[in-house]
Structure formats: structure tokens, C-alpha cells
A and B are shown apart, each in its own frame.
Chain A
Amino acid sequence: MTRLPERLFSLARVFLPRSLAPYTGGVLEVELPGETIRALIAGLEAAYPGLAEKLSGQLAVAIDGDIVADPYLEVVGATSEVHFLPPVGGG
């Protein structure tokens, strides 16, 4: 029997900001395959057309608790939790 790479049946849990609920029929948590934030956004766009553009205003994500600015190409773990957030900087 061929053993598939674990990655193929692992899904990231993606949490969307509440403000996007109108565009997802109220869905705020999605499980998606994808190895980068870009891939996850593509998956979200496929599920909810137009969402990628809405997410472009969310300039940061938290990947497993680690907040990352400008995260488009950031790598996502096989079972990561990803939260889209407003940007966080400081003074």
C-alpha cells in the first residue's frame, strides 16, 4: 500500500474576522489544505468568490499564535491555526 505524505490529508484551521461573515454566509472557521497563506487565500477565494479581495485589507495573520505582518508567502504547518487580523505595529 502506498503511504501518502501526511501533508495531503492535513488541513489548516483558518479563522476569519467577524466583519467578513456577510461574505461567507456567516462561516468564520474553515478547514483548508495549503502550505502557504497564499494557498489558503486561494482556497478561501474558491469557496467564497470575492473573499480574497476583502482579505487583502487584513494585513497580518497569526500562524499558531505567531503574529506575522505581510504574510502572503508565509509557510503554514500541516495542522496550523491561522487567524486573519488587523495589522499590529506599535509606537
Chain B
Amino acid sequence: MTQKTRDDQTLKWVGTRPIRPDGVEKVTGRARYGADFARPDMLWAKVLRSPHAHARIRSIDVREALALDGVKAIVTGDDLPEIASEQAFVGEEPTDYRMMSQNVLARGKVGYVGHAIAAVAATTSAVAEEALGLIEVDYEILPHVLDAVSAIAPDAPLVHDDLCDRKGEKKAPSNIANEVEMGHGDPEAAFASADFVIDRSFTTQAVHQGYIEPHACLAEAGPDGQVTIWCSSQGQFMIRGYTAKLLGLDLAQVRVVPAEIGGGFGGKTTVYLEPLAVALSQRSGRPVKMVMSREEVFRATGPASASRIRVKIGATRAGNFVAGEAWLDYEAGAFPGSSVAAGSMTIFAPYAFEHARSHGRDILVNKPKSAAYRAPGAPMAAFAVESVVDDLARQLEIDPIDLRLQNAAQEGVQSSFGPRYKRIGFVETLEAAQAHPHYDAPLKANQGRGVAAGMWFNAGLQSSAAVMVNADGSISVISGNPDIGGSRASLAMMAAEEFGIAYEKVGVRIGDTASVGYNDVTGGSRVTLATGKMVVEASRQVIAQLCERAAKVWDVDVERVQWADGKATVPDDDTIKPLGLAEIATGAGRTGGPIQASASGSVRGVGMSFAVHLCDVEVDPETGKVDVIRYTAFQDAGRAIHPSYVEGQIQGGAVQGIGWALNEAYVFDESGRLENPGFLDYRMPVASDLPMIDAVIIEVANPDHPYGVRGVGEAPIVPPIPAVANAVRAATGVRFSDLPLSPPRVLDALDPAS
């Protein structure tokens, strides 16, 4: 089942499982996360948040709060510069800097319960909290809208009455912030030639990324205007760029020092606290620390969108897909920019459709602004389409994997979102699932098995890396991406492979924004692929320098010098003793000085990822509780640099998707207030809820990467929702179209009288 395009016999480190370089720091508690930083004379800041879902702010009076002993600074929306409308791109969520600024601190009106109105810096956290209670806000409460259906009704209250298009021109009043349409062929006509057509609608609720570490930062603005920010995020350059933009600072004025990150999953690809902390530090002249509570994380940071999706697929009696059409409405929250475009692109992506079309709408509601969440937009779309594919297989009496194989996208096929696929491994992944013992394992009463597939594009974007030779022959690598999924290890392994030295001889550090060239966020499953490419490129430059230095020492033509196994050699003259890294490095002062190189680039050739999941559930007919009893996830990783990390990504994605399917949902009351802003009431799966997630790595090498890498972090969250739903369908005979599949909902369907 494994296909590898390179000669694996020559690889020493790639594909092995060495100990992670950050492991000791993390398991001993020494690693420093966002809230672990402190500075002398530091102030603590808190945020006043809106109690209303939609209200105009008539006035904010901070005089009494400012007079409180210990309060050193307060900022409101009036204190931030007005930002012109300009397109920004945050994770999978296109937004506008003006809107981003308004989300960080409300101007004129509030758009959701939890919307930031003012921030207070004081000598203690308790004083800052007390001061919040002394700020007087005069609100004119406005009618609000909490779901996409109500939001597009003709008489719906407008979340924004000043939306602009991409040129900055005002748009007609509407809560539909954006529309996308893509596809090819003529599905409408093609449906007439289908023997079977299934047309169903599905809904999903907003869910949070559920990262364990809340947002936290420390900011210090000096009297010279220089700003330093220590924070946990998915990108120190992103924090620098957005904070500078929102405060009108030059990028060179701002240095961002990345902390370790306790989870992000897309939710830390934007700013919430950092501009406030800097503004408060500028006003108070002292460092300012901010740490969100869990409740604030739920109320004020972006969830994944709630969605309503209608899918229609037509097939012949023989099981060939004739046409597919989908209509997707995603809730953006109070500011434009849901992941509906990606949902519309991925919904039919695993299959070869001659006629396919998707229509997506980005819809404003009075809820927190949605944010990217692991393969943004794709899991909800997969829930809809893979449920319909499952129903088609049942109706056609075709094995569900056979049906998918029969219609699978592969190299040269035109995707439903436009381009033709390059080399992809969907067929190999389906075949691996079908051949696995799990697929034929017997089931008992009240148990069912579900199959589902999904894809994610993966991203390249911009990356930089620096590689330096130390005097003792060890190698230092500087990456500009926070290590979320094991990039220190994967970058070190690729560098070790290039130099032909031991993995332990390579040290990878995550540099601040003044230490390494620009890097886009750690997102899009891109770091091992894209920053890895830059590490390989910089390593090869360094090796070329090492060969030149050795040639100088030997006084031979550099073309005669080769690099192998950590040494420079002259293969055509065995009287010349090879020179090792340490020998060349020690003498570098005599041969031209320090040896180092950096590489930067816009990385192409990302290699798309496909995943297929098998899920067994047992449904308790008396309580409606669904237990996942066996789960196997198959994924094309291109090449797994460090298979344990790849398996970890697959397991993590599967678990998050299972939680999304079974339990997780934002619950709002009629006033728009979130009723479950904590992990007691917002139920994510814990280890005792689930069986071991078996991860099976398929390796169809990405021909555009030096080690064949495909991104792996996002594809595994795409199939779990439909895999669970299809398993529940098999166990109960009921097709569930609305998430989550919580016990009350399942029980209602099994026994309506209950």
C-alpha cells in the first residue's frame, strides 16, 4: 500500500521516531507558555465586555474607573486609530483590517455578547477587575439575529449597515457579507439523467477549537517607541503585522517573542489581546500583561462557524456519480469572514464529478466572529456530502468504499473547485481502509460501522529559515514558526539527513521576529512542508560553503569535492583525508569566516491530503448515548518525516471531529448569551471517552517536496463527523442531519414518544 518515490535506503533519519527535542521542557513544566512571562513593574489588564448581543454605544464614561487607586490606563475604541477598509487574510477567514480593529475594541456599537468595549491596566488583576465595574456604558439596545435563516429574512436586523466591498465601496444593506460559486458542467440538466438523486439538508452548530491554553500576552512599549510582545500564537509575524497595523506602528518598531503554544488549531491565527496590551503599555509607560479566562475564550474568540448545508447528488444505477450541487450557508459571526469558500471548494473535492456546483454564503449574525479551525469549513461540508454518499451506497447496494473508489478523484481529474489534480493518494488511502481487518470485523447488536472520506488542500505560503554551523560541528536551525505539531523534530531530522549527521547534533530554535526572515503562520498544515523546504534549501547552501572551505584547505578545485556522511571528501584522491563538519567549522576563521545560510521563499507544490476513517459505534437504545468503540484513521502523508508526530496529528484530528459529531455545540439563550462557556458544560471528549485511535499512514510521496512531504495536520478532522454519523445510521437505521448527536437528540429519534 505504500508508494515511495525516493530511494528510502539512503535515508537515516526521515521515517524514524527519535525523541522530541522539546519533550523534557514540556513534561517537566519548564516550557514557557503565553502566561508565563513577567517583567518588573508589570501591570495587569482586564477587558470590559458587552452584555448585549447588539447595541449602539451612546457613551462610555471611564472617569470613575480611572480615579480608582491602582488604575494606570484605560483604552476604548476612541483610542485606537481608525483603520481604512483593507483586505486581510486570517487563516481560512478573509477579513478586513477595519473589521479586525472593531472586533478587538468596539466602535459605535457592539455585535455580540462578549464584544470588547474597554481595557483597563492596573497594578493588580483585582484592581483592574474592580475598575471594569466602574466604567459606565450607555447602550441603546438593538434587535439582534442569532441564526443564518433569520439573518437573511427580509426584515432581519442588520448586523452592519456599513459593509464595504473589496474596493472599499459601500454595499447594499444585507447580512449576506459574501457569496461564492464554483464548479463546472451543468448539474441541473445532468440530474435528469441520474437513476437516483438524493437531496438532503444538514445543520451544524458553532464549536470551539478547544485549545487548553487561553490567549495570553505581555507587552512592553518603551519611551523610544519600541514595542516587545511576548505571547502564545500561531505566528509571531502575524501578531507583529496585525498589532502594528491596528495601532499604526512601523513593523520595525515591534518585536514579537513567541512562547510555546498550548494548542491553536486555527484559533490563534488572529489578534484579540495584543493591540490592547500595547496600547495600555504606551499609555502607562509600564509593561502590561493580559490573560483571558476560559469564559472569555468561549465568549470572545472565534469558534468554527455554525452551518446549514443542502447537498444533492445524482448517480446511475451502476454507481457512477452524475452530478452534484450544494448550497452552503456559514455563520460568520458579527464580522464578515467565515470559512464558507473553503467549504464550497472541498465539498465535492474527493470525487470525480462531470457536473458539480457549489454555492456558498457568508452570513452575519450577532455571535462572536468565527475563526479558522483545522481544515476550516471542510468538516461541516464533509458531514453533508459523505452522509449523502453513504445513503447512495445503501440505496445502490454497493459497498461504501467501492462506491467511493468508483468515483474517486485522482491525478488528472478536474476537481470540483477547478484545477486538475496532481499526484494524490486518495485511491491508495481508500484501498488501505478496505484491506484493513477493521473493515470486516464483526459487530454486535446496537453497533454500526461508518466510513467517510475527506480532503484538505494544505498551504505553502511564505517561509524562511536560517542554518548555522557551530564551531564544534553541530548545526543550529532557526525557524520562524511556533512549534505546534512537532516541527522542531521534523526540521531537525531533515537537516540531519542533508548534512549526514546525527539528529541530536541539530538544534532547532523558534526565533523571534528580529531573528529570522518572515514566516506566515503555523497553519494550513504547512510548516514541515514549507519551512522544511527552506531548511533543506539553506542546508544545501551551507553544504556548498563547507565544500568550498574544504577545497581551500586542500587547495583543490571545488568541483572535485563531495559531501557525504557529514564529511567533505575528494572521491578521486584517496590520499586526501576527509574533513568533518567540526574540522571545517573550527578552521572557518582561516577560510572565510562563519558558515551559515538562510533561505526564504513562497512555497509551491504543497501536495493535497486525503483521509478515510472507519468508525464503529454502539448506541444505547435506552439513553441515546453513542459510544465510539473502535476507530481507524487512514491518511496519505506523502512521507511521514517523524511517524509518531503524524500519528499524533491524525489521532488529534479524529478526536476533535468525534467531539464535534457527538457533543460539542455553542448553546445560546434567546438574548444571545452563550450558556456553556466552560469545559464542564461544553463537553469535549477526554481520554476515557474514546478507544485508542489507530492511525494508518499511507505514503504517496509529494513529488514537489525534497522528502515527499504532504501537510498532515488538517485532513484528519474532515472525515470524523460523517464517519460517526454514518456509523450511527448503520446502528440505528436513522439518518441524523443535525449536530451534535447528543443523547437527547438520538433518543428522540429512536423513540419519539420519549
Contact = CB atoms under 8 A, between A and B. Distances in A.
Residue of A59, A85, A88 with highest tally of chain B CB at under 10 A: A88
B242 interface: no
Contacts of A57: 87, 166
A15 to B, nearest CB: 6
A18 B181 contact: yes
Contact of B372 (A62, A66, A90): A90
Contact of A88 (B92, B181, B373, B605): B92
A30 interface: no
Given A88-B92, A91-B376, A65 B523 contact: no
Given A91-B373, A91-B374, A86 B180 contact: yes
B524 A89 contact: yes
B604 A66 contact: yes
A54 to B, nearest CB: 9
B461 A89 contact: yes
Interface in B50-92: 87, 89, 91-92
B417 interface: yes
B708 interface: no
Interface in A6-64: 15, 17-19, 53, 56-57, 59, 62, 64
Given A57-B166, A67-B606, A91 B419 contact: no
B440 to A, nearest CB: 35
B341 A86 contact: yes
B341 A69 contact: no
A12 to B, nearest CB: 13
A22 to B, nearest CB: 11
Contacts of A87: 89, 94, 341
What is the predominant secondary structure among interface residues of chain B facing chain A?
Answer: loop
A14 B10 CA distance: 42
A24 B713 CA distance: 39
Contacts of A19: 179-181
Nearest to B166: A57
Residue of A19, A70, A87, A91 with highest tally of chain B CB at under 10 A: A91
Residue of A57, A59, A81, A86 with highest tally of chain B CB at under 10 A: A86
B265 A90 contact: no
B266 interface: yes
Contact of B459 (A56, A62, A65, A88): A88
B509 to A, nearest CB: 24
B670 to A, nearest CB: 31
Nearest to B89: A87
B523 A90 contact: yes
B422 interface: yes
Interface of A: 15, 17-19, 53, 56-57, 59, 62, 64-70, 81, 83, 85-91
20 contacts: A15-B418, A18-B182, A19-B181, A59-B87, A64-B420, A65-B420, A68-B604, A69-B461, A83-B418, A85-B182, A85-B417, A85-B418, A86-B345, A89-B89, A89-B523, A90-B711, A90-B713, A91-B267, A91-B374, A91-B524
